[in-house]
Amino acid sequence: MTDVTLLLDAARVAAAVNVVLLSVLIGLWGRLYREIKSTFTLGSIVFAAFLLAENAVALWFYFNAPAMPGIAVEVMMLLQILETFGIAVLLYITWQ
């Protein structure tokens, strides 16, 4: 397994985790929106839905990607992992 393959695998895992975390967030915010009808909550749902679509496309791309330069894979992996941490913080705060 090459370094690029390992980085691509890490990006795949991060994107898949993001899809799961965002699905949970959308479910929680959806339940909250039904209770309080807040426009902020609705905006959060829309934002999370766009982010979910982005991660689903990224995940598809990571499995069907043509050969890419190592630096591109490294940057994409780093961004996916940073996004995972950000979404995890949102989920933690929402869960409280």
Query: Which residue would you say has higher pLDDT here, 25 or 73?
Result: 25
Q: Does 22 have pLDDT greater than 90? A: yes
User: pLDDT digit string (tens) for 49-90?
Assistant: 999 999 999 999 999 877 888 888 899 999 999 999 999 999
User: Domain coordinates of the chain in residue numbers?
Assistant: 3-95
- Output the pTM of the full model: 0.91
How confident is the model at residue 36, as a pLDDT? 96
User: pLDDT digit string (tens) for 29-58?
Assistant: 999 999 999 999 999 999 999 999 999 999
DSSP 30-86: HHHHHHH--HHHHHHHHHHHHHHHHHHHHHHHHHHPPP--HHHHHHHHHHHHHHHHH
